[in-house]
Structure 1
Amino acid sequence: MQFDHYGGEAARLAADLVNLTEAPHPHLRPEDLEPLLAAHGVVHRALSTAQAESLWKWSRRLAACFGRQSLDERCDTVNSLLADASSSPRISLHDEQPHLHYSTTDADPAAHIRAITAAGLAYVICSADAERLGRCARHGCALAFVDTSRNGRRTYCSVRCANNDAVARHRERLGRIR
């Protein structure tokens, strides 16, 4: 499945923010976020401590979008995020090709990140499948991920987790055979 920058990439940013905030530390500092934002192509990523804290709170809300839930629940959650992101999408031509921007060029960096992550999740739900916003099925992992596989049936956050789970199931079967 191919996702454009403002759709799938923004949804992957949302998943990575969720995973970062679920790691064992009480809040995010600006220096914790900068590499993650750079990896996802966020241009304006210099955040104040207050902005980083607001994104930590935002990420806690993003977490509710991943994993098993009904389509109605997921849509309600994303609609709430879209409403609170309060962005005004507009078409930009700065790269000679029309594309959407979800915040103004002079927007606060945290507001921009809220706008693109909410829009990215909405894009996946509307253009792909809401079930592509998943949680790892390996016991003890539960990382959030966006399923970009061709068939949309991914259940693990990574190949490593899938392999570890397969090995654990195999060892469990061997133990029952003996």
Structure 2
Amino acid sequence: MHFNHYGGEAARLAADLANLTAPPGPEELEPLLAVHGIARRALTASQAEEVWAWSRRLAACFGPQDLDQRCQAVNALLADASSRPYISLHDGHPHLHYSAVDADAVAHVRAVTSAGLSYVVCYAGADRLGRCARDGCGLAFVDTSRNGRRTYCSVRCANNDAVARHRDRRREGGVRRGS
């Protein structure tokens, strides 16, 4: 599946924000925003709190749920982002920007992440907004695989789960090492 900047990177930013486990300060958020190509990322402490609140709302868009629930969650984000998309030519090629030129970092993050999630739901498949299937993990992820059947947040979690299942089978079957 081909993901454009908003369907891929913006949705992955949404997943990374959804995976935050504690309220971050500006110093933790700014590098995360930079990795995902967010140019406007200078935040105050109160803006970091706003992004934290937004991240809790983003978290509700990931994992198993029916299509209607997911669409309602993403639509609520889009409504609250209340951005006005426009076509930009700043790099010589027309492309969409989802927040105003003078928008602050929080408004920009809201607009970009809600647009990214909506792109994935509409053009890639709502089930591509997943949660890791490994017990004890549960991290949000965007499935950008070709077949859209990813169930783990990373290869590491997939491997750890496979090893755990193998060990469980060996214990249950009484299979001894070297047999």
TM-score by length of 1: 0.96
2:60 partner SS: helix
Report what 1:19 is aligned to: 19
Counterparts of 1:6 and 1:93 in 2: how far apart (Å)?
A: 16
Give yes or no for the alignment of 1:136 onto 2:108: no
Report what 1:86 is aligned to: 82
Report what 1:4 is aligned to: 4
Superposed CA offset, 1:67-120 (max 9, x none): 000000000000000000010011111111111100111101110000000000
Q: What is the root-mean-square deviation of aligned Cα atoms in Å?
A: 0.7
**Is residue 7–residue 121 contact of structure 1 (8 Å, CA) maintained in 2?**
yes
**Is residue 134–residue 146 contact of structure 1 (8 Å, CA) maintained in 2?**
yes
Report what 1:50 is aligned to: 46
Alignment size in residue pairs: 174
TM-score by length of 2: 0.96
**Is residue 67–residue 134 contact of structure 1 (8 Å, CA) maintained in 2?**
yes
Q: Could you tell me which of 154, 159, 170 is aligned with 2:155?
A: 159
Report what 2:30 is aligned to: 34
User: Which structure is larger by alpha-carbon Rg, 1 or 2?
Assistant: 2
**Is residue 6–residue 100 contact of structure 1 (8 Å, CA) maintained in 2?**
no
Structure 1: which 4+ aligned runs deviate by more than 4 Å?
Answer: none
Deviation at 1:3, TM superposition (A): 1.2
1:124 partner SS: helix
Q: Which runs of 5+ in 1 are unaligned?
A: none
1:91 partner SS: strand
